[in-house]
């Protein structure tokens, strides 16, 4: 796999919660951190995502905001 994004985090699928159109996919990263993504059900199916399977979080954004109270 070659991509232009530089933020690629390898993990495993911890949980998939399917909705009517989209699914919430939680990836568990090494060390126990989790990252959540909302993708279409069609994408879940075409990628063959299953709980426990390896997967990558690929992050490419022009902005990442940080906030505090």
What pTM value is reported for the model? 0.85
Q: How confident is the model over 29-58, as pLDDT tens digits?
A: 999 999 999 999 999 999 999 999 999 999
One CATH from 2.102.10.10, 2.40.50.100, 3.40.50.2000, 3.10.350.10 for 7-59 = 2.40.50.100
- Calculate mean pLDDT across residues 20-31: 97
Contacts by 23-27, CB closer than 8 A, 24 or more apart: 25/49, 25/55, 27/55, 27/57
């Amino acid at each position: 796999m070659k991509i232009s994004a530089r933020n690629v985090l390898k993990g495993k699928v911890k949980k998939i919660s399917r909705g009517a159109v989209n699914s919430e996919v939680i990836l568990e990263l090494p060390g126990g951190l989790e990252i959540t993504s909302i993708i279409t059900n069609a994408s879940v199916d075409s990628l063959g995502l299953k709980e426990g399977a390896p997967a990558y979080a690929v992050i490419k954004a022009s902005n990442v905001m940080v906030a505090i109270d």
